[in-house]
Amino acid sequence: MNTKEIMDIALELSDLKEIPWDSGIVVQGDNIKKVLFGVDMETQELLLGKELGVDLVISHHPHTGEQEIHFHKVLEVQIDKMISYGIPINKAQKALRKKVNSLERNAHVKNYDRIQSAAKLLKMPYMNIHLPADRITEKYVQNYIDQVLHNNPKATLKDVINTLMQIREYQSTPAGPVIRVGGSDDYAGKVAVLMAGGTNGGTDVFKAYFEAGVGTIICMHIPDDVREEVEKQNIGNVIVAGHMASDSIGLNILIKELRNRGLEVITMSGIIE
């Protein structure tokens, strides 16, 4: 198997036709049989991969190259998600703009060559798969919540937490689902799982969802300034499901498929199996 074939598998599982901005092949590889896979894989993990004799290192998060510099562009996929919840396209675009511009400015100053140059010098095939895995997670968690709670219109945030805790990855982490805005006895209302689209869209995006009728947002993480603003709005709830555990759901589905196709996959750096 080669790096392109591995990326194609990820795209197929996530219903994507093209490689998104936040994912890519940094150093191509062929005849891959043994893979080292983690949530965050940088130079030290490349060296570890060399020591372990792997044929490829895969990172979930983008840490180098064009994927890091152009990361902000992947947030545009959130617009379609927002439209599906009844948010007008113009409002969705404007709600995202502040976060997109901030990410672009922050990425512009980064040393985007540090890790990719190390991979090239080590002659270690290296790639990252971000949005595809997050889309798998988002779909899985949303479907699970909908199936369990669809007959319970008065489900509370405690019910949502208990439902999430039925998922293996959330059972196996010290940083599992928590309520960040709202109380355990508060009604959940319509639940939107927002875990794919680069990163958290920010205060304006959350507000747009709540104004469109969403009662509770489930996300991987939320910055404190966004949490504080959402609390002030007092119109919706936020459950943070947990970053590593949520990432692991989609990654485990991908890893299972890679193993089914004959690859040996060693996991580390945040992946909860």
pLDDT band at 226 (very low <50, low <70, confident <90, very high): very high
Summarize pLDDT for 64-75 with one digit per residue, the tens: 999 999 999 999
Mark whether 127 and 169 lie in a shared domain: no
pLDDT band at 165 (very low <50, low <70, confident <90, very high): very high
**List of residues 6+ apart from 256 with CB closer than 8 A:** none
Give the pLDDT of residue 138.
98
pLDDT band at 17 (very low <50, low <70, confident <90, very high): very high
Contact 244, 173 (CB under 8 A): yes
Mark whether 121 and 189 lie in a shared domain: no
Q: Is residue 261 part of a domain?
A: yes
Spatial distance between the Cα atoms of 272 and 10, rounded to a whole number of angstroms:
18
Number of domains comprising the chain: 2
Summarize pLDDT for 166-186 with one digit per residue, the tens: 999 999 999 999 999 999 999
Mapped onto helix, strand or coil, the DSSP state of residue 240 is: strand
Phi, psi of 212 (to 5 degrees): -90, 0
- DSSP for 226-261 reads HHHHHHHHTS-EEEE--HHHHHHHHHHHHHHHHHHT
State the Rg of the chain over Cα. Answer: 19
Mark whether 57 and 152 lie in a shared domain: no
Q: Which residues contribute to the annotated binding site for a divalent metal cation?
A: 60-61, 243
Question: CATH code at 70?
Answer: 3.40.1390.30
Mark whether 119 and 141 lie in a shared domain: no
Q: Is residue 108 part of a domain?
A: yes
Average pLDDT (224-245) is: 96
Summarize pLDDT for 77-130 with one digit per residue, the tens: 999 999 999 999 999 999 999 999 999 999 999 999 999 999 999 999 999 999
Give the pLDDT of residue 156.
98
Residue among 9, 252, 61, 203 at smallest CA distance from 217? 203
Give the pLDDT of residue 9.
98
Q: Which residues contribute to the annotated binding site?
A: 60-61, 243
Contact 32, 6 (CB under 8 A): yes
Residues spanned by the domain of 209: 135-243
